[in-house]
Chains A and B, each alone.
Chain A
Amino acid sequence: MLTRQYIDGMSNTAKAQPAPVASEYIPLKARNVDFEWSGTPLHWVPGDPATTHTINVLHLLLPAGERWFVHVYKQVLPFIRDEQLRADVIGFIGQEAMHSQAHDEVLPHLKELGLDPTPYTAQVDWLFEKLLGDRTLPPGKARQWWLMERVAMIAAIEHYTAFLGDWVLGAQALDRKGCDPTMLDLLRWHGAEEVEHRSVAFDLFQHVDGSYRRRARTWATAFAALVFLWQRGIRFFMEHDPTLLNGKASLREFLRAGREGVLPRTGAIARSIPAYLSRTYHPSQECSTAQAVAYLARSPAALAAEAKMTPARTTGGA
């Protein structure tokens, strides 16, 4: 219902239009979560370092990546001509800022466990701060183009964060394997919020630009970059894991984990590609808001954040 308005406003002569599912809409708010990492083991998927490190790559990419989302979106706010969308983007920004902070907190813990991520994260920082940063561009067209390009890239990346979020919420195999509960809560709280706000990045892109060619082009860039960074991150972790002799990342392990259900299946990943490239694609057609909301209602981190909402400050000791 509400998502509809700002999409109808854009000029698009093509017959095929993104078709949002109104019932999947939910207002957004950031949650002031906090995680305690001291009890989380290095291989938090017990006995499965390959899967652990495949998911750990999130901690390498997300702190810098989601900080970059916020940085870009702050600049887009003045271009938004729809109050509902503006409210969604403002909620989105806060959620992303908390995701970035929450994953960042894992990094010092990895370092304590003997797996220093800094060589890798310093490069990710470079990627988002420099390569994808503001660059010295003349005001006007060039600057606008670069902003829109980044907005479109974020929409493409958000397609995958929502995909992963929906997957992790339903990945019962992770529970059966006895994964560390704190890490699972981080992933599922994050995943649930990604599902909650999965339409915002796409709606924003449609609102401020909406060009199909840009959508397809930036999807290709984002997908290639994700694959490149992910395999590189897994290799980095496997090689530097202090408990593994000759740790190697392998495609076979990835396929095996997919079959076991502790990672997404390769087929599901493949199917997400044509989904995004379809002209009628809208993020609300995928994933389940209900599943996300249900998790947030029992997530220890989200519940603690709720409890914190009463203003809390005490001097001397009152």
Chain B
Amino acid sequence: MARVPLPRPRTVIVVAAAALLVKRAMGRRVQQSPLWPMPALEDPISGRGRSGLGGATLRLLVTERQEAAEGVVQLRLTGSELPPWQPGAHLDLVLPSGTIRQFSLCGDPADSGSYTIATRLIAGGRGGSREVHEQVHEGEEIEVRGPRNRFPLVDAPAYVFIAGGIGITPILPMLRAAEEAGTPWRLLYGGRSLASMPFVAEVEKLGGPEKVTLVPEDERGLPDLAGALADAPDDAAVYCCGPDGLMDAVAELYAAGAPGGGLHMERFAPGGNRHRTGVNGAFEVELRRTGATVDVGPETSVLAAIREQALPDLAYSCAQGFCGTCLQRVIAGDIDHRDELLTDAERDDQMLICVSRVYGDKLVLDL
């Protein structure tokens, strides 16, 4: 190594003095604004929280537990200054076992002190309703997330509501909203027997016999869906919630050129339902930027189809709708969201292609 000559004392003093000055100037600057000198992102991303937009996690007290009908338990969950909600919204309940189930809010949106939900015990169900019936008691705390709305009530000149059994829960606040707004509405409400149908008294009080048609199966058979749709005004919005059979029948009637014409159907589909009953349609996905078209069969996911037929390196990970890696922007298509992650705002034009599908037969992705 070459010998480095010793610096002259004067140089040492000058350098040391300069270093000291810089240090003091930095110290003053940092004291003024402790986060100097890094710039900040104008629109920060971190800290908004997954639930920040989709609804925060809350611990609520079960203050009331009553039987709303045969086999139906109604819970009142009390807190303070609860996030507001609109008719059609649901709540995620974290049950004692850790499972998460969604329940439609059926109380009054103006009440910011409590949420009301109702659930029917389904024999041989997946245990979610059983857990609520057997393990959630008055005076206990329960963790909830939300509310979120996948079934919003759109503005329409008239409404036709079709509910089957416990499917009345999201409809009930809609009836109140429609009644308050003075919009004409009709309700066709079916169930196994009058005693098993929740909120019959509330519904009748709201509408009276000219607006409300109750169809308990043991007395009057199955509801006349075709008739209800035929009698609807041309521009009425149809809202339907109930068992899969009912929803599919309404969808079929509607797809087959529903009487009345100009009707539009808002589907209540926290997707899983249709998925579980095996009603998974086949459709086509156009990848706009790639310039390719991919066929998605009923047994495969959008993600798998795209990876097999067009883009093998497309990123994904959990393939179950929670990690968010496969998020894609949607250019066209009526998305059937089946994930647990996205917020309502994100759902407008984005989807997780590992689980979510599409209503209809065509989806266009910005890919």
Contact = CB atoms under 8 A, between A and B. Distances in A.
Interface of A: 29-30, 32, 34, 36-38, 60, 63-64, 67, 70, 73-74, 77-78, 90-91, 93-95, 97-98, 101, 104-105, 107-108, 111, 117-127, 129-130, 232, 235-236, 239, 303-304, 307-318
B38 A317 contact: no
The 10 closest A-B pairs by CB, nearest first: A313-B272, A94-B317, A107-B47, A317-B119, A304-B98, A122-B40, A125-B41, A122-B44, A74-B315, A63-B46
B347 to A, nearest CB: 15
Contact of A121 (B46, B52, B125, B324): B46
Given A311-B272, A313-B270, 9 more contacts: A93-B317, A104-B50, A108-B56, A312-B99, A313-B102, A315-B241, A316-B167, A317-B169, A318-B128
Nearest to A64: B46
B35 A314 contact: no
Contacts of A236: 34-35
21 contacts: A30-B317, A36-B143, A38-B59, A63-B47, A91-B317, A105-B51, A107-B49, A108-B49, A121-B46, A122-B46, A125-B40, A129-B41, A236-B35, A311-B276, A312-B128, A313-B272, A316-B169, A316-B268, A317-B120, A318-B122, A318-B166
A9 to B, nearest CB: 18
B242 interface: yes
Nearest to B165: A316
A37 B143 CA distance: 11
Contacts of B129: 314, 317-318
B192 interface: no
Max chain A CB contacts within 10 Å: which of B40, B120, B340? B40
Contact of B340 (A32, A130, A304): A32
B44 to A, nearest CB: 4
A108 B270 contact: no
A37 B268 contact: no
Interface string B16-29: 00000000000000
A118 B91 CA distance: 28
B281 interface: no
Interface string B285-308: 000000000000000000000000
Contacts of B270: 313-315
Nearest to A101: B50
Given A90-B316, A317-B169, A126 B275 contact: no
A74 B216 CA distance: 55
Max chain B CB contacts within 10 Å: which of A63, A105, A315? A315
Nearest to A62: B46
B38 A127 contact: yes
Given A98-B322, A108-B56, A124-B46, A316 B241 contact: yes
A122 B41 contact: yes
Nearest to A74: B315
A83 to B, nearest CB: 11
A97 B325 contact: yes
A34 B157 CA distance: 42
A317 B104 contact: yes
